[in-house]
Structure 1
Amino acid sequence: MSVARPTRSLLGKYISSAAAQSRSPASTVVCRQFHSSAPCQKKRRSQFRNVKAEELGLLKPDAMEKYQKEHLPDYTPEELELLRQKYTPEQMEALEAAEQAVNPGDIAIQGRLRDDLFRPKYIEDFTVMDPRYDLKPDLKGTLREHKWDDNDERFEEEFLDKFSKVMEKGTTNQLTRAMIRALRRVKTSQGRDMIDLTEAELNDMEKDPSLLEKYLVKPDEREPKYKEKETESDDFITRAQALKLDEMVEDAWKKELNLLANSKHTELKPSTFELEEDGPTGPIRLHTAEAVELGKVPGVAGLYKTSADEDEGKDDMGQYTELKQLTGMTLSELKSIYTKTLVVRHVHNQTRLGKIRSISAMVIAGNGNGRLGLGVGKSTQMDVAINTATMLAIRNMKPLRRYENRTIYGNITSKVSGTVVELSARPPGFGLRVPSRLFEMCRAAGLHDLAVHMPRSKNPMNTVKATYNALMNQPDPEEIAIGRGKKLVDARKVYYGGAVL
């Protein structure tokens, strides 16, 4: 384009306006644009059809009026009279003005009752602090110290008494289990019909010896359970069968006592049920943090080895090994993180041997839910630089504050070198009106409504650094409220009853 053409375009409006005054005041010459695009004379038409809310059934007048009468009725004269008894005339004027300012339809559409875990369980305007809910009670406790007995003899007596009771109980349980095993042996061999105990009952008694008292017959309740030969009934056993059963039980009992007496251990051998309780699947393991011991099978140890690749062949080169150790994440979690290369620069370092060419890459990483990381990598190869920057970005991921999980808190300004970035929070539905690099950062961090203004230099690397510093150094409203000694309330959430995005 020549110099004469834009000069003519600039001066054309003023030259033509003087000549147009003599002809017609309504005729003007349109100034030419500095681009080749066709001028847009009217407002651009939307690509989507505008569907009214009434057609969708959201704003039916009858339904809305019925809902407002049921859930958002106006104050009755009786209620107003009660309010006048409680509030001053100035407060009543403010209350009536607030009722006129608040639109019931707006509350019906956008407002809702909170159902989250942290909703207040009481109706409050949050103007004053309630000590029942807002102030943490100062509980004073006393330390409990262990009292040591100075009398050693008394301590020894108590310890021996306690230990003897434990040993006596253990010995009694072992003898009871030996008797139950003797009964099982007799029942299995010959006395299946003469011992009125099932296998399940014997197992329960061996597991808990205290259940034996349930099946014992007291001396005053004892009845003869044998019959004479002339009595024909199958409910009783004969005297000879009873004597034979006593002999078999006594023989089995002696065998069990001999096994206990000939034990090589100084303490009594625990039963099978005690071993199962303390085993890997026993109930004791449910209430302990001790790891289960993995035993080795004789003759099989060392023959079979589990696969050392926990990633199922997805990381054979070991690229994510160090990153998994540093972050504690699995390979699937690391690959689910969103990463984007924002800046790539070709750097030349002048040395006495000549120019050394290298590549510098800047990558961001985020999980899309409030965590963002920035990494810079440099190498002579493009792939190595990008991979290094990606690993550093994932490693440097930090949480950032988000208001309603969609935008930032207020307005933030950050400066890096000659670049100044001004971030501004925006209402729901505003979108991301930011440059392309900052758009990728917002998408990785989970921000949906944001506006950015950069009045000075727009260097790519400084822009990304300044935006990252601004997002990480947002002002915390809670800290400001604590520092000023005030109570902070979100007016937007109070007005809409928590119905915010």
Structure 2
Amino acid sequence: MGLVQQRISESASKLKPYTKEEKRLLAHKYTPEQLIAIEAGEAAIDPQDLVTQGAIRGDPYRLTYLDDMSQIRPYIDKPVRPAEETHTDPSIRLKTEDELAMAFHKYTKARQARSEAWQNMYGSLTDEQRQEFAEEKAAEAENPNLSPQERARLAAEAEEITEGPAETNYVEFLKFAKDPRNLFNAKNEAALLNQASEEAQELPKMADPGMRYVKEGEDDDPHMIRLLQTTGLTKDGMRRLRIKNLVQHRVVNQTRMGKIMSMYFLTIAGNQNGLLGIGEGKAAEVEDARRQAMMAAIRNMQPVPRYEGRTIFGEVEGKVGAVELKLSTRPPGFGVRCQHLIFEMARAAGITDLAARVTRSRNKMNTVKATFQALMSQRLPEDIARARGKKLVDVRKVYYGGNV
């Protein structure tokens, strides 16, 4: 019927060149270069695109909210796969522990080689001579004909000549950790993994990554060293954790050799700021069982979702064995009103407003496990919004009946 052509002609009639008065007003806000770019951009707009893409959709499959679609929000929008021309490997992954150890080993070797080269070239010179060399490198780095990478390399060399030989310290380790090429691997090569595993066994163990190497005899507990390596925590961070034994009893195993007695511990660990873990330990000696449970709890720490940093999201239920319980969110100032086991877990996780009710069995071990299961099974508002096709869900009225 010609309606589309009519709309195209109407849109084209609106795209008129700027008048002198309009240009004069725009010059107060934009630079001449920006005005040229604006005019070129508007001249490149096709009226057909305005008709097909600039109109608000009225079909039943339209979005229920307005969005300019110019930004990708990772929590809501589907991730876009990279195009083939970008040469990006979609199977990129974090390096394993052996690969990270191998990469850091090569990094330290390169730093040592650069330090030896510095000593050979500039070690015998005086400070004035080294300053002259550094000024020459800095002058070369200011050459505009060079590429940005070459100028950056010359500037780094000038700085290194002035500061002295390269040393592997904590600052250099941070530079190593910030480089994605050292942390990610886009190719899964078996030869590289085998080589990394062989050479990583010869590396010294690190208790505090990036700070210092652990020497023989410096720490008598190899289990604690391994725990620091696994979790990435420092010794100060380990001391700040809240660790508590919730269950402790004697276990007897009847065998043909008689009754074999051992101790059982169930321990929780948390940083009181959103991390919580539970661990079990059993051994013939009390101290061994306590250490096993403590290290397992620290190793199993996971982030606990918290609403406003003080309570949980909605009501969640947990069931382990015959224990059934329900955790409920509460408004600010309500406190943690529940039995002592759940109270200690909420305190370790940093939850200050919570109500809980345990039905049926009151078994202590299963109560702790069911509470941890319930805390991990919370439904986040982002997930609810994504399921409804929205970008934000206000849950205050649902959680608190409009009182907050």
TM normalised by structure 2 equals 0.50
Q: CA deviation at 1:205?
A: 9.4
* Residues in 2 aligned to 1:277 and 1:476: alpha-carbon distance in whole angstroms: 49
Q: Which residue of 1 aligns with 2:356?
A: 452
Name the residue aligned to 2:163: 281
3-state SS, counterpart of residue 272 of structure 2: coil
Which of 419, 432, 435 is equivalent to 2:336? 432
Which residue does the alignment assign to 2:191? none
For 2:34, the equivalent position in structure 1 comes to none
Is the 1:129–1:135 contact (alpha carbons within 8 Å) kept by the matching residues of 2?
Answer: no
Moved over 2 A (4+): 127-130, 132-145, 203-211, 273-291, 307-313, 315-319, 486-493
1:452 shift after superposition: 0.5
Per the alignment, residue 363 of structure 1 pairs with 267
Unaligned stretches of 5+ residues in structure 1: 1-126, 146-199, 212-272, 292-306, 494-499
Say if 2:80 is the partner of 1:130. Answer: no
Q: Paired residue for 2:320, among 405, 409, 416?
A: 416
- The equivalences for 1:43-442 within 5 A come to 128-131=65-68, 143=85, 207-208=135-136, 279=161, 281=163, 315-442=219-346
What percentage of aligned pairs have identical amino acids?
A: 43
What is the root-mean-square deviation in Å for CA atoms of aligned residues? 4.4
Structure 2 letter corresponding to 1:128 = Y
Summarize deviations over 1:185-242 as a string: whole Å, max 9, x none: xxxxxxxxxxxxxxx99x769943998xxxxxxxxxxxxxxxxxxxxxxxxxxxxxxx
Question: What do residues 332-388 of structure 1 show as CA deviations (whole Å, max 9, x unaligned)?
Answer: 211221100000121111111211111111000000000001100001121111111
Equivalent residues of 1:409, 1:475 under 8 A apart: yes
Q: For residues 234 and 86 of structure 2, what CA distance do their matches in structure 1 show?
A: 44
Q: Distance in 2 between matches of 1:450 and 1:205?
A: 66
Structure-2 change in CA distance of 1:355 and 1:428 (3 Å): same
Q: TM-score, normalised by structure 1?
A: 0.41
Q: Contact conserved, 1:276 with 1:282, CA < 8 A, in 2?
A: no
Cα distance in 2, alignment partners of residues 274 and 465 from structure 1: 54
CA-to-partner distance for each residue in 1:94-149, whole Å, 9 max, x for gaps?
Answer: xxxxxxxxxxxxxxxxxxxxxxxxxxxxxxxxx8333267766989979379xxxx
Q: How far has the Cα of 1:316 moved from its partner? A: 3.5
Distance in 1 of aligned mates of 2:267 and 2:163 = 49
Instruction: Note if contact 2:279-2:294 (Cα within 8 Å) is conserved in structure 1.
Output: yes
Consecutive unaligned residues of structure 2, counting only runs of 5 or more, are 1-63, 88-127, 140-154, 178-211, 398-403
Residue by residue, what CA displacement relative to the aligned partner does 1:231-276 show, whole Å, maximum 9, x if unpaired? xxxxxxxxxxxxxxxxxxxxxxxxxxxxxxxxxxxxxxxxxx9986
Q: Confirm or deny that 1:479 pairs with 2:361.
A: no
Provide closer, same or farther for how the CA distance between residues 485 and 204 of structure 1 changes in structure 2, counting only shifts above 3 A.
Answer: same
2:67 corresponds to which letter in structure 1?
D
Structure-2 separation of matches of 1:443 and 1:274: 49
In structure 2, distance between residues paired with 1:279 and 1:206: 6
Query: Bigger radius of gyration, 1 or 2?
Result: 1
Whole-Å separation in 1 of the counterparts to 2:337 and 2:361: 18
Structure 1 distance, partners of 2:162, 2:371, is 54
